[in-house]
């Protein structure tokens, strides 16, 4: 993003130089303890210089870490997890540890952080200054074409569950700032304080979310059958439950890459199923069933009111 007024990014009406100075001042104000920016620890080391390392490495001496003075080294650091797996979403909580970027000036600090967490610092600054430009889901979905064009058909409740599954702290450290549309909130309940000291808003659904939404649409459009004690499920979902139990029993759960949505054991797919199951009310005793005017959103198995 450029600093020239005519080319300024939508989230930085004051220019990137202003956002960069605000980041440095925020880190300076924290003193020697530094600031936790998502999983990174950013510290001022004196003389206008900064250091970035993983928060897990806070107590390690520099000679125990892979040290670089080159801010562009952050690009390779952000590419893979501790296990060497590709990281398609840089805001996932799987930044690898074991490195330190040192002797960074204000400009190099910005560059390095932008490689570790693309666009996060500018969105952080925009969130703090009230200049964040948000695009709600319906608008993002309407822009999709080709194989992703159908995501615009996703119903509101499915969008909400998709966000619970795809965007929670366990899988993405940004905070969703968009809604279903201007008048329809996402109703994201129970989010605690942000991870670290920086609240990094997400102004628009990312490509990972759009791809996940396509998988969710497939599940939502499949015919469902009642499952006693649970929500009605599609055959793919009952198969997913079986695969889940088998993987848990064999200790292989958690080995699926985060972008592989065809795999029923993908963490976001499991989280979507969990969100659907959690949304269903627990069945009451048979004698208590008030079929007339029943308030349940998900009918019980064999409900006489459902034709």
Contacts with ligand SF4, residue ranges (CB under 6 A) = 91, 166-167, 172, 174, 176, 202, 205-206, 208-209
| Cα(278)–Cα(298) distance, integer angstroms | 11
Choose between 108 and 176: whose C-beta lies nearer to ligand SF4: 176
Max CA-CA distance within the chain? 75
Choose between 99 and 272: whose C-beta lies nearer to ligand SF4: 272
- Tell me if 231 sits within 8 A of 225, measured CB to CB: no
Choose between 68 and 266: whose C-beta lies nearer to ligand SF4: 266
Choose between 120 and 219: whose C-beta lies nearer to ligand SF4: 120
Q: Which of 219, 259, 260 is nearest to 241 (CA)?
A: 219
Q: Which of 153, 275, 299, 282 is nearest to 225 (CA)?
A: 299
State the DSSP code for 54.
E
Least separation in angstroms between residue 166's CB and ligand SF4 is 5
Choose between 108 and 213: whose C-beta lies nearer to ligand SF4: 213
| Residue 37 bridge partners (DSSP) | 40, 196
Neighbouring residues of 49: CB distance < 8 A, sequence distance ≥ 6? 102, 103, 104, 105
Least separation in angstroms between residue 246's CB and ligand SF4 is 28
C-alpha torsion angle, residues 195, 198, 202, 207 (rounded to 10):
-70
Least separation in angstroms between residue 206's CB and ligand SF4 is 3
Pairing of strands 66-68, 175-176: unpaired
Three-state SS for 122? helix
Least separation in angstroms between residue 91's CB and ligand SF4 is 5
Choose between 1 and 227: whose C-beta lies nearer to ligand SF4: 1
Choose between 66 and 191: whose C-beta lies nearer to ligand SF4: 191
Least separation in angstroms between residue 101's CB and ligand SF4 is 23
| Cα(303)–Cα(284) distance, integer angstroms | 13
Q: How many helices (H) and strands (E) does the chain have?
A: 9, 9
Pairing of strands 66-68, 49-54: unpaired
Least separation in angstroms between residue 216's CB and ligand SF4 is 13
Least separation in angstroms between residue 176's CB and ligand SF4 is 5
């Amino acid at each position: 993003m450029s600093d020239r007024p005519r080319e300024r990014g939508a989230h930085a009406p004051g220019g990137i130089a202003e956002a960069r100075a605000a980041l440095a001042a925020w880190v300076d104000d924290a003193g020697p303890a530094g600031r936790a920016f998502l999983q990174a620890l950013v510290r001022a080391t004196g003389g206008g210089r900064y250091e970035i390392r993983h928060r897990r490495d806070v107590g390690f001496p520099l000679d125990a870490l892979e040290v670089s003075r080159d801010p562009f080294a952050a690009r390779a650091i952000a590419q893979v997890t501790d296990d060497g797996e590709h990281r398609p979403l840089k805001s996932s909580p799987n930044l690898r540890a074991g490195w330190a970027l040192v002797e960074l000036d204000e400009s190099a600090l910005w560059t390095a952080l932008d490689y570790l967490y693309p666009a996060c610092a500018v969105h952080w600054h925009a969130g703090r200054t009230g200049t964040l430009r948000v695009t709600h889901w319906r608008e993002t979905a309407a822009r999709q074409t080709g194989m992703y064009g159908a995501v615009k058909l996703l119903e509101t409740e499915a969008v909400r569950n998709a966000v619970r599954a795809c965007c929670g702290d366990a899988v993405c450290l940004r905070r969703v700032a968009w809604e279903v549309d201007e008048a329809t909130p996402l109703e994201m309940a129970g989010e605690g304080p942000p991870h670290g000291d920086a609240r990094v808003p997400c102004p628009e659904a990312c490509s990972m979310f759009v791809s996940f939404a396509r998988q969710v649409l497939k599940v939502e459009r499949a015919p469902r059958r009642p499952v006693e004690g649970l929500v009605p499920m599609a055959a793919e979902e009952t198969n997913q439950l079986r695969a889940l139990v088998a993987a848990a029993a064999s200790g292989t759960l958690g080995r699926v890459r985060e972008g592989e949505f065809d795999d029923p054991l993908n963490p976001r797919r499991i989280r979507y199923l969990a969100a659907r199951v959690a949304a269903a009310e627990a069945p009451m005793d048979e004698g208590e069933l008030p079929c007339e005017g029943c308030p349940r959103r998900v009918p019980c198995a064999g409900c006489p009111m459902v034709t």
